[in-house]
Structure 1
Amino acid sequence: MKPSYVAVFAMVLVLVLGYEAEVSLAVTCSPTELSPCVGAVTSGTRPSKLCCTRVKEQKPCLCQYIKDPSLKKLVTSPNAKKVASTCGVPIPKC
């Protein structure tokens, strides 16, 4: 019996979603990972590709950073919001 295209698609979808969930669980929250963004956050310059990659990787950690008074400005300052927006990462409402 041949598997239907719907069943194959469903299996692929489950595998992809499972992989993405595993990847997001593997993120280590470390504000130092955002160091490539320091120049853009402090001066308002355009963020580098590496900065955007790191912001996207650290997206699951942003609420944790916002809740930490010593890190809050790293995420909520006007330039930090500009960096996040340029990189296509919305600032979460925590």
Structure 2
Amino acid sequence: MKAKHISVFTLLVLLLAEAEVSMAVTCTPTQLSSCVSAITSSSPPTKLCCTKIREQRPCLCQYMKNQTLRKFINTPNAKRVAKTCGTPFPTC
């Protein structure tokens, strides 16, 4: 009986994990526009900026492949903003 409970639990965990993976992020660099002032200066990021960085985090490596975006994303200030927002900066 205990094995049945464990397998039901395992199934629920797998279903929840699959649901989370299937929620795709739409990579839209303009979503990070609320972070421009924090990235280009030493001002702290806004709450909206932190929310958008967390949402767009899966897209950051893609953005760094773009020459125009890379000069804003791959900077010490951008890394500071990500850290301040509690979002690990990806290694691509």
Give the TM-score category using the shorter length.
Answer: 0.7 to 0.9
Aligned in 2, Cα 1:8/1:49: closer, same or farther, shift over 3 Å? farther
Unaligned regions of 5+ residues in structure 2, if any? none
Q: Would the aligned equivalents of 1:52 and 1:87 in 2 still touch at CA under 8 Å?
A: yes
Unaligned regions of 5+ residues in structure 1, if any? none
Looking at structure 2, the residues matched to 66 and 2 of structure 1 have their Cα atoms a distance apart, in angstroms, of 49
1:20-59 per-residue CA deviation (whole Å, 9 max, x = no partner) reads 1011xx2111110001111211122221221111111111
Which 4+ residue blocks in structure 1 deviate beyond 4 angstroms? none
Percentage identity across paired residues of the two chains:
52
TM-score, normalised by the number of residues in structure 2? 0.86
Partner of 2:40: 42
**Alpha-carbon deviation of 1:65?**
0.9
1:42-86 per-residue CA deviation (whole Å, 9 max, x = no partner) reads 122221221111111111111111111100022111111101111
Partner of 1:86: 84
TM-score, normalised by the number of residues in structure 1? 0.84
Looking at structure 2, the residues matched to 91 and 61 of structure 1 have their Cα atoms a distance apart, in angstroms, of 11
Looking at structure 2, the residues matched to 78 and 66 of structure 1 have their Cα atoms a distance apart, in angstroms, of 14
What letter is aligned with 1:32?
T
Partner of 2:4: 4
Query: How many equivalent residue pairs?
Result: 92
Partner of 1:67: 65
Q: Pairwise CA RMSD of aligned residues?
A: 1.8
What letter is aligned with 1:73?
K
